Amino acid sequence: MRKPSLLIVHGFGVASCVFRPLMRRLERHAASVQLFRYPSVGLELRSVVDRLSGHLRESKPDAIVAHSLGCIATWLAVCDANWRGPIVCLAPPLKTLPVTRLIPSVMRWPFAPLLDHRALMMGLNFRLPTLTGCTIKTIAGRLDILVPLSCTRHDEVADAVVTMDTHNSILFSPRIAQQCCDWLAGPWQSGEPCGAPEHASQPF
């Protein structure tokens, strides 16, 4: 089986070095692993999405692993770029986050992407777009106080797993890295729509 090329998309306020353990583990199963880099504070969410969609059109990775706010940037960029393939979302904020309700709207620096996420999710008619040809797995931490489990649910998620992790410890777990690899190397790796995977996930 051909090894896939993977793109990692980080979230808000996280240094690239935090992703090194996850990337090292993924490299054992991938042809290449690349971290999509962008300023993680102060940059508007729309700018992140535009940069990422352009990158997807040019580099055409086989699969994506995203973390936190990077999951929303990935979701929107994948739609814009008409990219297809498997996606793993780690601690994905798919709904409005309670913690961001406390951020004053005037504090665009450094919280611009979080404020944009809040405005987007609170829009009366907003709904995350359907990602045709993508199979999405979410992995959420029960001990994550930044992204509660209730904010990680979505109808288009094919597999949802809950672990005893915090928001960032999820990036250091060998077990979670293996779950990412298993999903990205599964029979749905072609990106074609499929049914739910055979293994059972821990319910919310």
Q: What are the tens digits of pLDDT across the range 23-63?
A: 999 999 888 999 999 988 899 999 999 999 999 999 999 99
pLDDT in tens, 76-103: 999 999 999 999 999 999 999 999 999 9
How many CA atoms does the CB half-sphere of 115 hold within 13 Å?
15
DSSP string of 42-86, one letter each residue: SS-HHHHHHHHHHHHHHH--SEEEEETHHHHHHHHHHHHHT--EE
Instruction: Check pLDDT > 60 for residue 193.
Output: no
CATH code where residue 151 lies: 3.40.50.1820
Residue range of the domain that includes 22: 5-184
Is residue 111 one of the residues assigned to a domain? yes
154-166 pLDDT, tens digit per residue, is 999 999 999 999 9
Residue 41 vs residues 98, 111, 134: alpha-carbon distances, Å: 19, 6, 28
Dist. CA 79–CA 64, nearest whole Å: 13
DSSP 110: H
* Consecutive H or E run containing 26: helix 20-27
**CA atoms of 73 and 52, how far apart (whole Å):** 8
d(C-alpha 185, C-alpha 139), whole Å: 16
Report yes or no on 27 lying in a domain. Answer: yes
The answer to whether residue 192 is domain-embedded is no
For residue 199, tell me if it sits in a domain.
no
Give the number of domains in the chain.
1
In a domain, 196, yes or no: no
Q: Is residue 193 part of a domain?
A: no
In a domain, 198, yes or no: no
In a domain, 202, yes or no: no
The rounded distance, in Å, linking the Cα atoms of 33 and 45 is 23
Going by C-alpha positions, the residue among 160, 140, 135, 20 that lies closest to residue 68 is: 140
Distances (CA, A) of 83 to 12, 136, 169: 23, 13, 29
End-to-end C-alpha distance for the chain, whole angstroms: 33
